Structure 1
Amino acid sequence: MSDKNCKEVGKKTLFTIGEMARLFHMNIRTLRYYDEIGVLKPEYVNEETNYRYYSTVQFERLNTIKYLRALDVPLEKILIFLNEKEVSTILSIFEEQRERVLKKREQLSRIEKKITNRMEQIEAALTAPYGQVIVKQIPQREIVLLEKKITREEDLEPLIRDISKKTYLDDAIFLGKVGVSVSQEDLKNGEFKYFSSIFVILEDEDDFMNKDVVLQEGVYATVRYRGTHEEASSYYAMLLNYLMDSGLHIKGDSIEITMIDAGMTNDHNQYVTELQIPI
C-alpha cells in the first residue's frame, strides 16, 4: 500500500492527513496547524517523507475539538481541557463560554439597534419634504460637545478628530451623527457665517459613559434641504421669516445636522441637511 494512502502500522489502521481531512470535512491546513500547536498530533510521522498519519484513536479527540470549536471555544482552552480531561475543566470552559456568548448577544443587539437607527435616519432623510418648515417636538439628546467659533468654510474633520481624541469616543459612531450650532445671538442678528460649536449625538447603544451635555427636549422649527452646511444660509432665512410671521421666538442655539453626507455618498446632490431652531 502506498505511503500516501491508508496503511497499517503496529496493527493500527492509519489515515493520511488528506484522508483525515476528507473524513472530517476539514482543511488540511487546519490539521497541520492543530499539529503545530499541539491540539492534535499525528499518530505517526514518516521521517523520510514527513507524511502525517492519524489513527481511529484520534477520531474522538478530533470530534471533541470540532464540537468545542463549533461553540467558539478558543483553541488554547481546548488544549487545556484535552490535556486534563476533567469534568470540572469542561464545566468551567462551558461557563466561561456562556458568559462570552451572552456578552456577544448584547453586543449584537446593540449593533442591530444602531443599524436600525441609521436606516431610519437615512430613509427619513430621503422621504422628507425638502424646503418646507415643520414645527415638531424633539426628545432630549445626549451629546459630546466642543465649543469653538468655526467658519463655514473651515474643514470640520480635524475638529471631529479632536472630539474623538479628547473624549476617547470610538470613531465608528460618528457617521451621520455630527452636528454644528449657530449661536442664538447670531441667529437673531441674521448672521450664519460662524458655528459656535460642533458636537456628536450619542445613542444608548454607543455605550459611552461621559454623557454630560444634553440638547434639551423641546419644540423646534425645522427644515430639511438637499445640500451641505455651506448652503444653509437661505434656509436659516426661511426659518427666521417663518418665526417672525408666526410670532414665535428663538429659545437657543440652532442644531444643524447633515443626515446624508460624504460618508454615505459621493453624489453631492444626495446630501441632506436638517436645520433645527428651538422655539
Structure 2
Amino acid sequence: MNEHFSIGETAKLNNITIQTLRYYDKLGIFKPDYTDPSNGYRYYHISQFFYLDIIKYLKSIQTPLEEIKQIILNTPQDMQNFLQQQETIIENEFKKLQDAKCILEKKKRQLNEQLEICGKERGKVYFRSIKEERILKMSIKALTPSNGRPGLYVRKLANVLEEKGCIIDNRYGYIYSLKPYNNTEINYEYIYTSVSEENLNIEEPMTIDIIPSGDYICIAFDLSENNNDYNKYYRELYHYIVSNNIQTDGNVYEVSLPTNYSSLKEETFLIELRAKRI
C-alpha cells in the first residue's frame, strides 16, 4: 500500500490547495516527509495528515499562522491552555456580535419610525402610538431650542455608555414641561438618549428612566441652522392640546432625527414634539 503522496494528491485528499501546502512548507509549519532531490517534488506520508488536521482546526478558530507554528511545538497542556483562552475570546466576540445584532435591529426600528414620521404633514398635529423607551437622561440648564447645541452633552452621555461597554445611540432628545411659555424662552430640562441594556449602574447627575408607551399627540417639522421656527410649532401643539382639553402627563418629549449623515452637508433635523395623552 502506497503511504506517500505527491503534493497534488495530498492537497486533494485533505481538501486544501497546493499553494497552501507550499506556503506551510515555506513557513515551517507543515513540511513534506521528503523532497526528491532530483526534481524537487514534495511527498507527504499518510501519517502526517493527522497533523495537518490540527493545523486546519486551529485555522478554523481564527488562529494566526505564526501562533500555529508555536502551538504545534508545545505540549498537550499548552494546547489545552490555548484552547481555553480561545474559548473565552470566541465567547466575547459572540457577545459583541449579539450586541451588534441588537443595535442593528434597534436602528432599523428607529429608521422605520423616522420614515413613519416623515410621512406626516409638516406642522400639523397628529396622534401616534409609541412604544416604551428606556433612556439615559441628564439634567441640563441654559439650553434652549434657539441655542440648542447638544454636542458636549451628547458626548457626556456617550462616554458614560461606552465606559459601561454600551454603544451610543446617535438619536437624542430633550424633555421639558408642557406649559404656555408666551414671551418666556423654552428651557430644556433633560437631554436623553435611548439605551437597550438593563441593570446599568449609573451615577448622578445621570439616571435611567422610561418614556412610557401610549398614545401621543405629536407635531413634526424640519429644522436647520438657517430655520428656527421651533416656537411656532410648539405653540401649534400646545394650542391643540389646550383647545381640545386633552390631559397629558405634563411633559414634552422632543426627538431629533438627522436627515443626512454627512458633515459635508448642511445640518438638518426632523423634529418631533410629543405629549403623552392620559
Short-chain TM bin? 0.5 to 0.7
Who is 1:4 aligned against? none
From the superposition, tell whether residues 167 and 64 of structure 1 become closer, same or farther in structure 2 (CA, over 3 Å): closer
CA distance in 2, matches of 1:13, 1:274: 71
Supply the distance in 1 between the matched residues of 2:29 and 2:107 (Cα, whole angstroms): 44
Going from structure 1 to structure 2, the CA distance change for 1:110 and 1:168 (only over 3 Å counts) comes to closer
Q: Which sits farther off after the overlay, 195-204 or 265-274?
A: 265-274
What is the aligned partner in structure 2 of residue 145 from structure 1? 138
The residue type equivalent to 1:196 in the other structure is: E
Q: Is the 8 A contact 2:135 2:210 kept in 1?
A: yes
Name the counterpart of 1:225. 220
Unaligned runs of 5+ in 2: 35-39
CA gap 1:189/1:96 in 2 versus in 1, 3 angstroms:
same
Alignment CA distance shift 1:13-1:30 (3 Å)? closer
Equivalent residue for 2:116?
A: 127
Pick one of 73, 86, 89 that aligns with 1:97: 86
Q: Deviations over 1:202-227 (max 9, x none)?
A: 1128x954383203425463425241
Q: Name the structure 1 match of 2:244.
A: 246
Q: Write the letter of the residue equivalent to 1:203.
A: S
If the length of structure 1 is used for normalisation, what is the TM-score? 0.66
> Cα gap change, 1:224/1:147 in structure 2, threshold over 3 Å: closer, same or farther?
same
SS of structure 2 residue aligned to 1:149: coil
Partner of 2:272: 274
Which structure shows the higher helix fraction?
1
The counterpart of 1:82, out of the listed 72, 77, 81, is: 72
When residues 194 and 135 of structure 1 are mapped into structure 2, their CA distance, relative to the original with a 3 A threshold, is same
For residue 150 of structure 2, what is the amino acid of its counterpart?
L
* Identity score, percent: 15
TM-score where L is the length of structure 2: 0.66
RMSD over aligned Cα atoms:
4.5
Equivalent residue, structure 1, for 2:44: 56
Look up the match of 1:174. Answer: 169
Distance 2:148 2:59 in 1: 52
Q: Which amino acid aligns with 1:244?
A: V
Structure 1 pair 213/223, CA: closer, same or farther in 2 (3 Å)?
A: same
The answer on whether the counterparts of 2:136 and 2:157 sit within 8 Å (CA) in structure 1 is no
Displacement of 1:114: 1.5
Counterpart pick for 2:102 among 113, 120, 132: 113
Question: Secondary structure of the residue that 2:191 maps to in structure 1?
Answer: strand
Q: How many residues align?
A: 253
- Give per-residue Cα distances to partners, 1:151-175, cap 9 Å, x unaligned: 3334322332233345645795232
CA deviations on 1:13-55 (whole Å, 9 max, x unpaired) are 998xxxx9xx98669799779966x7558999xxxxxxx9976
